[in-house]
Structure 1
Amino acid sequence: MGAFWLEVRRSPLRWWFPFLVVVDLAVLFGRARWWIGVWPQASVAAQIPAFYFGPALAAVSAWTAGRTSRHGLVDQLGASARPRWQAECVQLAATLCYGILVYLVGAVVAASVSFPSAGPGFLWPGYLLLGLSLLVICSATGHLVGSWARSQILAPVLTGVGCLAAITLLGSGSGFFALVGEPFLSVQVVPILLRILLSLAVASAAVMVSRSSVPGFRQKRRAPRALQVLGTLLAVMVAGFAVAAAGPLTSPRTPPKAATCSDTQPRICLWPEDRKYTSQADVMARNLAALPAGLFVVPPVFYERGLRPGRQLEDFYIGEGSMWEAAESISINIITETLPRGCQPRSPAAAQKYYTAAFELSTWLSVRMTGGGQPASVRGGPPGVDRAAVAVVATQPEPTQTAWVRDRLSTVRNTDCG
């Protein structure tokens, strides 16, 4: 422990710690803030800084690991009473100590700002452990490269850039970091544990195969030493194959016994984790109830995705904190219930008129539900629809809007279907 605290006091990260905390908070709040108040989303937001800290720790770890060879202390380390890998382990642990501390600061802040609106619950540990495993893998990789490199500048730069490039190219589909924490998906225990085991195996390989440890092969006990090194490398390979074979990181959750629903008719039901959107759901439901009678067939209940297993495509999804996407999905369900089923227009011209009118109706319903047009943060939309013009229609007097809706309904109902 004395050697460990000495490494902590000598680490270059002691000067960079305040800056890294600022970077953590900048990433946490600068990327988005819609995650506040939703525990799975807040957990992912707290994990995302690992995407940036991982390469930074790799560079610092490479610099620290190269200190022994830069100062010509490899032989002196070999003559020490302790095994060489223990000294390497102390160096790596000191670097990880700073990185994990910064990471935990971000997690505490994410939890603190979410408490007022999130209700019961807490950060999901699976996502936090995912970011932690990424930090360990990057730091260990930097330590291994730095212990063998002869350049005190090139090794940290290449290691940091290389880790960042690898993370970027692999993307979130690799399962080593997440960008969104949907409440209808839970983090599986086995894949997370395997990623932790892989990170520990990489860290073991980094300290056992470092440059100051390998000279042990020339000693009398080189056979046991070789077995140790080969064992750690084999453990990395086995853990890597196990992670790949374990399948996806997340799986559908079991729906709760009681969803969080609006008090109005029709009802809009949410996952308990998304309870902060209840007030918006109430407004949308009241706006649906206020639609002119006799125009649409409105289902009595609308569900957030995952509350009804096997019917995910029919239910709405809250995209990046915006209820607009949920309103679009609800409006499509209403149009589907209202219009004739299985209509296939006989000609391209008829198909264009049919789908344009249907898309205009769904867009109008979305505007009426949310009380405004499509947010600027939401990209795309139904093809062939002038969304700004439809938003203007939604501001007209009720008789004008009703006439506009009846005209579109007449178009789709009088289409010559096959």
Structure 2
Amino acid sequence: MIDIIRYELRRSPFFWALGPMVILTLTLLLRESDLWNRVWPEASVQVIAAATQLTGVTVAATAAWSAQRVHRGNTTELLYAAARPRWQIELIHLFGTLLYSATPLAVAALVATFMMTPEVPSGSLWPSYIGLGLLSMVIIASLGHAVGSIIKSRLASPIAAALSFGPLFVLSLFVPHYGEATKEVSPQALVVRAVFAVICLSVAIFISTTARRGATLSLPRIAISVALPVGAFALVMVGPPQQYRPPPSNPSCAQAGQTDVCVWPDNAALLPEAVRATAQVNKALEGIISAPDLVAEQGLAVSHRPNSLQLDVIPGASWESYLSLMSYSITSHQCASNNQETNYLGVMASSKMYVWLRSAVIGGMQDPYWDPSNLTAADRQEVESILGKPRTDQVEWARTQIGLIENCRDQHR
């Protein structure tokens, strides 16, 4: 049996496609490694995303081409006359396909593990995410094999690639795009995908062993015809592959002056940057508004105080991310006043304060790319002019803007 498998691996077109597939996967994984190499769940998602998206499309196309070899060599009838049952032959064929398909994922996981920074909390890539990636490859490879078994035309590979592109990219049915610390793999979604992978594998074997002479209606054919759409329906109905995690009992916290800063334990390596951003924002706001008592990422079970900030948990967070999140939370207007003038003044004051606060921390006017969409050129010139004035003038201007924002917030309440 080992010799048969070895022979199958040598004759497979994946033997030649494996190198480009691994290179493609590592290219996608490493292009922005600084966004995931400090958070284990984010690294886990980026590993499976790199190994199952563009690479998955390649797997589907190559699997279809590999399955077509019986058509190209006109060996279908010979396979039915072989000593081994046809399903065993196809199972070995599919085993080789799946082994090659999983190799880029294994290589990406190994590379990602070694690339994690020293300050990352102890842990590893999340097995649930890796399992999700493996199941996705089984589904995609089985789909390609089935298409190649049915279609004799050379269009089988492009068709298989097109069919896999939708679920992988457009619908994101198989793997998520990001792995925020607030989320985990949904057990229900994982079970449904495992069942669907078994169905797809069974369909691929069944089709490849019966796709000849217009096989007659049979109980297995009926079962397969029902199971596939039911499985696909369940896959859609169970929803996204992720769900929100319960709050951890041990958030990672530190202090920035009088402000407590707390992040998810998985984001502990990001805590110094959150503390740094908090300290710089507090310094910029001295004499304007009081510093918050607490800055915490959303979803944490921490005692919230009247003067606290809740920050969104975003993938690839950095010092600049925390700066932007804090600036937005402090200056957001949340205004729905019936007075149009009050509403307008509050909105514009919020936008100008956001740009001023970020620019004051950075030490110069921020790139216009990051400006709010409603900020006009005149507003930007006003902020730039204020930044060039003495600190006392900046404080007075900022207090005026905060007053307009608070007036709008009061009417909103």
Map of 1:1-400 to 2, 5 A cutoff? 1=1, 2-30=3-31, 33-49=34-50, 50-151=52-153, 153-170=154-171, 172=172, 175-210=173-208, 212-215=209-212, 226-264=218-256, 265-291=258-284, 293-308=286-301, 315-319=310-314, 320-335=316-331, 347-369=339-361, 374=366, 379=370, 381=372, 383-384=374-375, 386=379, 390=383, 393-394=386-387, 397-400=390-393
Question: Which structure 2 segments of 5+ residues have no match?
Answer: none
**1:255 touches 1:306 (CA, 8 Å); kept in 2?**
yes
The whole-number CA distance in structure 1 between the counterparts of 2:55 and 2:336 is 54
Structure 1 range deviating more: 12-21 or 200-209: 12-21
The whole-number CA distance in structure 2 between the counterparts of 1:165 and 1:380 is 34
Quote how far apart the aligned CAs of 1:332 are.
4.5
Three-state SS of the structure 2 residue aligned to 1:251 is strand
| Structure 1 residues 352 and 150: CA distance shift in structure 2, 3 A | same
Aligned-partner residue type, residue 64 of structure 2: A
The whole-number CA distance in structure 2 between the counterparts of 1:270 and 1:150 is 55
| Structure 1 residues 416 and 62: CA distance shift in structure 2, 3 A | closer
Three-state SS of the structure 2 residue aligned to 1:180 is coil
The whole-number CA distance in structure 1 between the counterparts of 2:70 and 2:293 is 71
**1:346 touches 1:417 (CA, 8 Å); kept in 2?**
no
Which 4+ residue blocks in structure 1 deviate beyond 6 angstroms? 413-417
| Structure 1 residues 384 and 101: CA distance shift in structure 2, 3 A | same
Structure 1 range deviating more: 153-162 or 102-111: 153-162
Quote how far apart the aligned CAs of 1:121 are.
1.6
The whole-number CA distance in structure 2 between the counterparts of 1:286 and 1:351 is 31
Three-state SS of the structure 2 residue aligned to 1:117 is coil
Aligned-partner residue type, residue 96 of structure 2: A
Aligned-partner residue type, residue 317 of structure 1: D
* 2:402 is equivalent to residue 402 of structure 1: no
Q: CA RMSD in A?
A: 3.3
**1:298 touches 1:334 (CA, 8 Å); kept in 2?**
no
Count of aligned residue pairs for this structure pair: 402
Question: Which structure 1 segments of 5+ residues have no match?
Answer: none
**1:184 touches 1:252 (CA, 8 Å); kept in 2?**
yes
Quote how far apart the aligned CAs of 1:316 are.
0.8
The whole-number CA distance in structure 2 between the counterparts of 1:333 and 1:176 is 34
The whole-number CA distance in structure 2 between the counterparts of 1:83 and 1:11 is 20
Structure 1 range deviating more: 117-126 or 51-60: 117-126
Structure 1 range deviating more: 159-168 or 16-25: 159-168
